[in-house]
Amino acid sequence: MRIYIPDPIHNLPLAYAEKIGEVVKWDDEKIADWHDADALIVRTAKVTKEKMHQSPNLKIIAKHGIGTDNIDIEAAKELGIIVTNTPHANMESVAELAVSLILSSARKVPRALNMLRNGLDKLAPKELTGVELDNKTVGLIGLGRIGQKVGNILRYGFNMDVIGFDPYLSAEAAEKLGIKKYEDLIEMLKISDVISISVPLVPSTVNLIAKSELSVMKESSILVNTSRGKIVNEADLYDALSTNKIGAAALDVFEIEPPSKDNKLFELDNFIGTPHIGAATEEALIKMGQTAIEEIERVKNGEEPFYKVK
């Protein structure tokens, strides 16, 4: 089995892949041509319908991660190509980054470092006065594995009330998780001190947070997105932050990736940006790579994969 890996993966799963097939990886000159691939492992590489048609032997596209918006799922279905992902592998990593961004925003950590670098003549300047999370409310947009994990960390670690919005989870199921579900996103946003986004990029979530949603949020609110960039409208976010309509925001994902250094959001003291590092931990990279390769091995052996994308 020929396994093409156009994006770098961790050395441990790579060694496992080399045991089950012939691997063509990202630094090989043949990597641009997938025509003889039996399997693909992709992180950010785009897998188009055209690419699939040019690869008649392709049996499986294993996504190294959760979101499959870089893969033409409908084309894969038409051509009988299996698509899998790794829904459990990066849950801890992404959730921990979301909480890190919430804390960094609440206590203005990046701004504090910048002020130190530029020189200070006094300690604890007024501009660095932050807010506590204790007894505040976090509104979770998306109540899947990552959203639930973020909620649990904030509930048990910071005594926050946890509420949520998710059209695909019933109020009863949310209640069992200790989360009060809102049927109306606007109503949830109005009372949230922190908003954390954990949803896939699909047509219904493009610009899910834009001018009308930002306008109802508290002036002190913190918005964090670790999902996909186009879920938050960056122009509207800039307007809300620059006029202090909301308190702060942090994005790990952007409308255009990698984002330009000229992105206007980077000019703002109440904004934090990270370059899509949600899943970038040693542990998550190993688990995602290993899971992707195990799915390929199952297909090679004629078995049903565990994490087939519907």
- Is 88 catalytic? The answer is no
Residue among 50, 257, 267, 282 flagged as catalytic: 257
- Is 228 catalytic? The answer is yes
**pLDDT per residue as tens, the chain (310 positions):** 999 999 999 999 999 999 999 999 999 988 888 889 999 999 989 999 999 999 999 999 999 999 898 999 999 999 999 999 999 999 999 999 999 999 999 999 999 999 999 998 889 999 999 999 999 999 999 999 999 999 999 999 999 999 999 999 999 999 999 999 999 999 999 999 999 999 999 999 999 999 999 999 999 999 999 999 999 999 999 999 999 999 999 999 999 999 999 999 999 999 999 999 999 999 999 999 999 999 999 999 999 999 999 7
Instruction: Find, among 211, 221, 185, the residue nearest to 105 by Cα.
Output: 221
Residue among 43, 64, 111, 228 flagged as catalytic: 228
- Is 276 catalytic? The answer is yes
Instruction: Find, among 65, 15, 28, the residue nearest to 45 by Cα.
Output: 65
Instruction: Find, among 44, 5, 50, 43, the residue nearest to 25 by Cα.
Output: 5
How much is the pTM?
Answer: 0.90
Q: Using an 8 Å Cβ cutoff, are 185 and 164 in contact?
A: no
| pLDDT 10s digits, 70-91 | 999 999 999 999 999 999 999 9
